[in-house]
Amino acid sequence: MNHDAILTGCSVLLVEDESLVSMMAEDALLDAGCEVLLAMRLQEGLAVCATANIDFAILDVNLGGGILSYPIAAELQRRGIPFLFATGYAATELAADYALSPVIEKPYTPRELLDAAHGLLTGTAAVPTPR
């Protein structure tokens, strides 16, 4: 699937604490024509979310040390910015407030990431089955 028309020129907040995963995701998004705003920690993500013009976001759920990205998700929701969670955990383990949020499960390929981003922007993103 060609995502260029949808993703080109989009500004995406990528919150990911794993260096290898963030590099792969950033490369895929850059290759698709996105501007990537990378944050590896909660406070960085909150700062970018509060100040940047963002078209969509990809949030790793667990940012290490028991820190979760839910405060960023809450701010994105408040601002009406679409987002999806990237997680190695089962989608059914998301907090109840985000149980129906789009999810991409780790490990994912660059193609799967771009498909998920495309789905998010076109309203066709896969969401977990309700509990």
pLDDT tens, 21-68?
A: 999 999 999 999 999 999 999 999 999 999 999 999 999 999 999 999
pLDDT of residue 54: 97
Cα 113 from Cα 54, distance rounded (Å): 17
Say yes or no to pLDDT of 110 above 60.
yes
Average of per-residue pLDDT across 4-21: 94
**Amino acid at residue number 50:** A
Query: Distance (Å, rounded) from C-alpha 79 to C-alpha 104?
Result: 22
pLDDT band at 129 (very low <50, low <70, confident <90, very high): low
Higher pLDDT, 124 or 17: 17
List, in order of start, the domains of the chain with CATH numbers: 4-122 (3.40.50.2300)
Backbone φ and ψ of 65, nearest 5°: 65, 25
C-alpha 3/C-alpha 67 separation (Å) is 32
**pTM summary value:** 0.93
Q: Does residue 131 surpass a pLDDT of 60?
A: no
Q: How confident is the model at residue 100 (pLDDT cuts 50, 70, 90)?
A: confident
